[in-house]
Amino acid sequence: MKTIPKFTTPEEEQTFWQNHDSTEFLDWEKAKKVKLPNLKKSTKTISLRLPADMLETLKIRANAMDIPYQSLIKMFLQKELGS
């Protein structure tokens, strides 16, 4: 197996792996699955227009559950999407 070089930047590493086959550097037959329980999903900020009365209802409901209203919206979306 070849030795993986030391990279000085993430961009340098990305360029390297785009141009090299990882099987020359790693024995994938010996690979093991790992769990990363503290890994957070990446998020993206969006802008969402809601009727004022709907937003107020969401805020009241979220307040009753002692959670931020944005979290309540995410919970509703997650439930609806089934994920």
CA dist 34 and 14 (Å) reads 22
CA dist 59 and 50 (Å) reads 12
* pLDDT for the residue 80: 95
CA dist 24 and 32 (Å) reads 18
Comparing 41 with 61, the larger pLDDT belongs to 61
CA dist 21 and 9 (Å) reads 19
* pLDDT for the residue 83: 67
| Residue range 3-48, pLDDT digits in tens | 999 999 999 999 999 999 999 999 999 999 998 888 888 889 999 9
Tokens matching residue 38: 């503290």
